Amino acid sequence: MDLYEYILLLILPQLTVEEYVVGCYFTNWAQHRQQNAQFLPRHIDPKLCTHLYFAFADIDIKLKIPTTFEKNDILPTEALSPHHSFQQSIDYQIKSMMGSGDLTTVALSHPQQKIGLYEQVNRLKHDNPQMKTLLSLGGASVNGTKFRLVFGNANNRKDFIRNTVKFLRKHKFDGLDLDWEFPENENDKKIFSELVKDYRREFQNEAFVTNRVRLLLTAAVQAYKPKIEAGYNVALIGQYLDLINLMAYDYHGAWDPQTGHNSPLFSRKEQRNNELLLNQKASIDTWLEYGVPSNKLVLGMPMYGRTFRLRNKKNTQINSAAKGAGKKGKYTLSDGFLAYYEICDLIANQKWKNEWSSDQEIPYAYKDDQWVGYDNVESIRKKSLYVAERNLAGAMVWSLDLDDFTGEFCKAGKYPLLTTIKKTLDTLQPPTTPIRIQKMTTEASSIATSDFPSSRHTLNQARLATLPDLSAVKLSSKLFSNNELRALIRSNLNLILSLPFRLLIGGDLRDISINCCVLTDVCTKTYNKMKLMFVGIQAVGKTSLLNCLRREGTGSYQRQTNKTWSSRQNGDRTISSTISNRSTKYDNLSTVGVDISDWIITRSQYGPVTFRTWDFSGQREYYATHQYFFSRRALYLACWKISDDEKGINDIHQWLINIQVRKYSYF
Catalytic residues, by residue number, are: 181
What distances in angstroms separate CA 370 from CA 84, 332, 507, 617, one per listed residue?
A: 51, 16, 52, 74
| Dihedral sign (CA 106, 112, 114, 119) | negative
Burial label, 125 (beta-carbon count in 10 A; 0-12, 13-18, 19+):
middle
Query: Which of residues 607 and 492 earns the better pLDDT score?
Result: 607
Distance CA 508, CA 9 (A): 19
Q: Is the pLDDT of residue 317 over 90?
A: yes
Q: Place 210 in a pLDDT band, splitting at 50, 70 and 90.
A: confident
Which three-class secondary structure state does DSSP give residue 320? coil
What distances in angstroms separate CA 454 from CA 451, 504, 509, 565, one per listed residue?
A: 8, 31, 26, 41
Quick one: which H or E segment has residue 635? strand 634-640
Contacting residues for 285 by C-beta, under 8 A, at least 6 apart: none
Pairing of strands 216-221, 243-246: parallel
Mean pLDDT is lowest, of 139-148, 255-264, 448-457, 462-471, for: 448-457
- The DSSP code for 627 is G
Distance CA 248, CA 224 (A): 8
Q: Taking a C-beta distance cutoff of 8 angstroms, is the pair 538, 45 a contact?
A: no
Q: Which DSSP string do the residues of 423-481 spell out, in sequence order? A: HHHHTSPPPP---EEE-B-SSTT---EEEPPGGG----S-EEEPPS-GGG----SBGGG
Query: Which of residues 535 and 310 earns the better pLDDT score?
Result: 310
Give me the pLDDT at residue 76, please.
81
Q: pLDDT (tens digit, 9 = 90+) per residue, 484-535?
A: 444 444 444 444 444 332 222 222 322 222 222 222 233 334 556 777 777 6
Pick from 116, 154, 371: nearest CA to 262: 371
Give me the pLDDT at residue 545, please.
65
Query: Which of residues 430 and 628 earns the better pLDDT score?
Result: 430
Give percent of the chain above pLDDT 70: 59
Question: In b/e form, how buried is each residue of 585-617, taking b as 16+ CB within 10 angstroms?
Answer: eebbbebeebbbbbbbbeeeeeeebbbbbbbbb
Q: Place 549 in a pLDDT band, splitting at 50, 70 and 90.
A: low
Average pLDDT for 262-289: 97
| Amino acid residing at 228 | I
Torsions phi, psi for 205 (to 5 deg)? -60, -45
Domain coordinates of the chain in residue numbers?
7-15+432-665, 21-302+377-426
Give me the pLDDT at residue 648, please.
63
Q: Place 540 in a pLDDT band, splitting at 50, 70 and 90.
A: low
Q: Is the pLDDT of residue 54 over 80?
A: yes
Q: Is the pLDDT of residue 144 over 80?
A: yes
Q: pLDDT (tens digit, 9 = 90+) per residue, 358-382?
A: 999 999 999 999 999 999 999 999 9
In CATH terms, 21-302+377-426 corresponds, of 3.40.50.970, 3.60.9.10, 3.40.50.1370, 3.20.20.80, to: 3.20.20.80
Give me the pLDDT at residue 448, please.
28
Give me the pLDDT at residue 464, please.
33
Give me the pLDDT at residue 652, please.
61
Q: Place 175 in a pLDDT band, splitting at 50, 70 and 90.
A: very high
Q: Taking a C-beta distance cutoff of 8 angstroms, is the pair 225, 288 a contact?
A: no
Give me the pLDDT at residue 195, please.
98
Give me the pLDDT at residue 550, please.
59
Q: Is the pLDDT of residue 217 over 90?
A: yes
| Dihedral sign (CA 422, 424, 428, 433) | negative
| Amino acid residing at 339 | A
Q: Taking a C-beta distance cutoff of 8 angstroms, is the pair 636, 619 a contact?
A: no
